[in-house]
């Protein structure tokens, strides 16, 4: 098993696990925030403007942690700096 193959195998495994594990927390958190927003809307319909605005800002902030994971997974699949590092000296 040469270096290229190992790097590729580890990158595939890591990319998948990163986005898989990394989607649990944000999804549950968004579910909680959205759930509470719906309860708040039912309880205080007059404040719907403030509630939905706060909800969307919060969802965006929570989504950011999922985005971090997606970015790392994409980097590992399509722009992996270690692939060049390893293949370069081997080809040099």
Burial bucket for residue 76 (CB in 10 Å: 0-12, 13-18, 19+): buried
Least distance in angstroms from the C-beta of 4 to a second copy: 6
Least distance in angstroms from the C-beta of 21 to a second copy: 4
Least distance in angstroms from the C-beta of 69 to a second copy: 5
- Site size with a second copy, rule: CB under 8 A: 80
Q: Dihedral of the CA atoms 78, 81, 86, 91 (nearest 10)?
A: 80
Question: Cα–Cα distance between 14 and 52 in angstroms, integer?
Answer: 36
Residues 12-71 interacting with a second copy (rule: CB under 8 A): 12-48, 50-52, 54-59, 61-66, 68-70
């Amino acid at each position: 098993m040469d270096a290229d193959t190992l790097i590729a195998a580890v990158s595939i495994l890591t990319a998948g696990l990163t986005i898989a594990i990394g989607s649990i927390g944000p999804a549950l958190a968004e579910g909680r925030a959205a759930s509470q927003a719906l309860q708040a809307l039912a309880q205080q319909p007059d404040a719907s403007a403030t509630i939905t605005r706060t909800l969307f800002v919060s969802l965006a902030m929570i989504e950011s942690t999922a985005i971090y994971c997606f970015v790392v997974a994409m980097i590992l699949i399509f722009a992996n700096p270690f692939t060049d590092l390893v293949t370069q000296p081997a080809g040099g």
